[in-house]
Amino acid sequence: MKVRMPFGRVAFFVAAFFFSLVALTPLGLAISWLGLDARGLAAREAQGSVWLGALKEAQLGPAPIGDVSARFHSLRLFIGQARVSLARADETQPFEGSATVSRHGFGFDDATGHLRLGALLAPLPINAIQLENVSIGFASGLCSRAEGRVRAMASGDVGGMSLSSGLAGNASCAGDAALLPLAGQSGMEQLNIRLFADGRYRAELLVRSQDAALGQRLVAAGFTAGNGGFTRVVDGRF
């Protein structure tokens, strides 16, 4: 006697089987398989599975995000995407967001929270950024999406001019780069940070001032005088 199982039920069990295999995959192995580590997501240690895991001392590029919980969105694998959600349960400086990788692109989505930059933009005194629903993505080497509010915080001054009030602006695409155009409250300072698909970044701080004494201090601090003001450029790679 043969028992025929309806096709829909067979498909369900097959899907459930493969879903279980994916859900039990170790988190660290999945990050390596999907190339997220090559895109800047790193950690000292990965614990648990893709269904519910944790990253110890995680980093996005050189920016530390600390200990975070991590969970893959398994269903996105069926549309050719790998997305992992990250969350830091810190009462004073929480962070959450997602990293997404596909065949032709990658990006970070819905990032909200505080990121310490360390010496990433040195010698510029920018030591942290605050993200509000920031999404940045690249496809085929070009910026494909960039949105959300970014605020940069400084730990010191530039040529004796304080940047303690910070600089802020909205992310956008500018050619092949994602652009963070951040302006100071006084209108004198403009910090443009460009992020590229190959991991390069460029930070350009422009100070507009007619103050001769300030100009001398800025030149002594490594700025270059030009028609638009005084500029200092920092290039690097994640």
Q: What is the pTM of this model?
A: 0.81
Convert the pLDDT of each residue in 132-191 to its tens digit: 999 999 999 999 999 999 999 988 788 888 888 889 999 999 999 999 999 988 888 999
- Cβ atoms 75, 50 nearer than 8 A: no
Percentage, residues of the chain above pLDDT 70: 83
Which of residues 25 and 111 earns the better pLDDT score? 111
- pLDDT number for residue 7: 44
Convert the pLDDT of each residue in 185-194 to its tens digit: 888 899 999 9
- pLDDT number for residue 4: 46
Beta bridge partners of 156: none
The 3 state secondary structure assigned to 21-70 is HHHCCEHHHHHHHCCCCCCCEECCEEEEECCCEEEEEEEECCEEEEEEEE
Convert the pLDDT of each residue in 177-231 to its tens digit: 999 999 988 888 999 999 999 889 999 999 998 888 999 999 998 999 988 799 9
Convert the pLDDT of each residue in 59-69 to its tens digit: 877 778 888 88
- What's the CA gap between 207 and 195, in Å, rounded? 21
Which of residues 225 and 22 earns the better pLDDT score? 225
How many of the other CB atoms lie within 10 Å of CB of 147?
A: 16
Q: With H, G, I as helix, E, B as strand and everything else as coil, classify residue 77.
A: helix
- What's the CA gap between 186 and 165, in Å, rounded? 9
Instruction: Please state whether 77 falls in left (phi above 0), alpha (psi between -120 and 50) or beta.
Output: alpha
DSSP for 143-159 reads: EEEEEEEEEEEESSEET
Phi, psi of 64 (to 5 degrees): -75, 135
Q: Give me the mean pLDDT over the 123-136 stretch.
A: 93
Q: Sketch the domain layout of the chain as residue ranges.
A: 1-93, 117-238
What helix, strand, coil percent values describe the chain, rounded to 5?
Answer: 15, 55, 30
